[in-house]
Amino acid sequence: MLLVTAIGPLAAVKAAADAFDAIDPSPADAVSWYEEGHGRFRLELYAEDDESAAAACDVVTAAAPELSPHVAPLEDADWVAMSLDGLPPVRAGRFVVAGAHALDRVHGGRTRVWIEASEAFGTGHHGTTLGCLMMLEAELKRRRVRRVLDVGAGSGVLAIAAAKTGAKALAVEIDTRAAAIMDVNVAQNRVGPRVRTIAGDGARHARQRYDLVFANILMRPLIRLAPRLVGALEPGGSLILSGLLTKQEPLIRLAYGGRGLVLVRRFRREAWSTLVFRRPAR
């Protein structure tokens, strides 16, 4: 893993960071920026290898020529586990999501979802996962959820949460490593009889019908998958989409509203949006 940094004025740093929003796939695994003081801002990018780091530097200098990116190696470490160790449980309606170290301290009648820090995305701390859980809570207050499809399931947190309320879920994850971690999470949460996991694109399963579909991925895949995700919904079913920046909402609304779905709810946290669409009953 390599760290790419650049220091400069706010306008330049923000322009460079925003440039990565339009790139899919991005050469940077993560992009962040913050103020260092006295009007100086720091851009940080994480890249998997030398080629990705060089490509990230090219994006930075093209978007903000006044910046001079610097590349440095990071020592081997479990950065995900280190960053999440000791974080408080995430509460979303009836659900509480945490690792074992924090879940043991949770009391009361909440639905507990055990997810440890890992390479698989989805511990509940990110605004997109939290938004999906909050929108699941809203759906459960409205009706019973019976059959769930979770596309790009990551850790499996959404499918597991739905299963713990009585639903049967199919969780699809294209990354084989993440899918293996998801299998562990399903077993640890004792929902194996209710959650089926698939390592792959799972496209053929979109031909079946579900009353709730999750897709917490990225804007471009969401637009590309729109025909399949809409087709997977039962009449009256709900589609919960996330992985979106708030400024990307109009394109998603166009892609799914143009296929007959109605936007019924929206959740925003920081720069992230979660949208809930519903297919008309008939």
Task: Give 163's contacts (C-beta < 8 A, 6+ positions apart).
Answer: 148, 169, 189, 191, 194, 195
Q: Average pLDDT, stretch 16-20?
A: 88
Cα(102)–Cα(154) distance, rounded to whole angstroms?
21
CATH superfamily for 2-73 is BMC (bacterial microcompartment) domain (3.30.70.1710)
pLDDT in tens, 76-88: 544 444 444 545 6
Q: Which residues have C-beta within 8 Å of that of residue 92, sequence separation ≥ 6?
A: 124, 130, 133, 134, 136, 137
Label residue 272 left, alpha or beta by phi (over 0 means left) and psi (-120 to 50 means alpha).
beta
Other residues' Cβ atoms within 10 Å of the Cβ of residue 247: 12
Average pLDDT over residues 132-141: 92
What does the mean pLDDT of the chain come to?
85
Distance of CA 102 to the CA centre of its chain: 22
Look-up of token digits 């998958």: 225
Q: Which fold has domain 120-278?
A: Rossmann fold (3.40.50)
Task: Indicate the pLDDT class of residue 147, thresholds 50, 70 and 90.
Answer: very high
Query: Who has greater pLDDT, 275 or 2?
Result: 275
18 pLDDT exceeds 60?
yes
pLDDT at 107: 63
Q: How is the chain split into domains, by residue range?
A: 2-73, 120-278
Report d(CA 64, CA 93) in Å as an integer.
Answer: 42
pLDDT in tens, 175-233: 888 888 899 999 999 999 999 999 877 666 666 899 999 999 888 899 999 999 999 99
pTM for the full model? 0.68
pLDDT band for position 99 (50/70/90)? Answer: confident
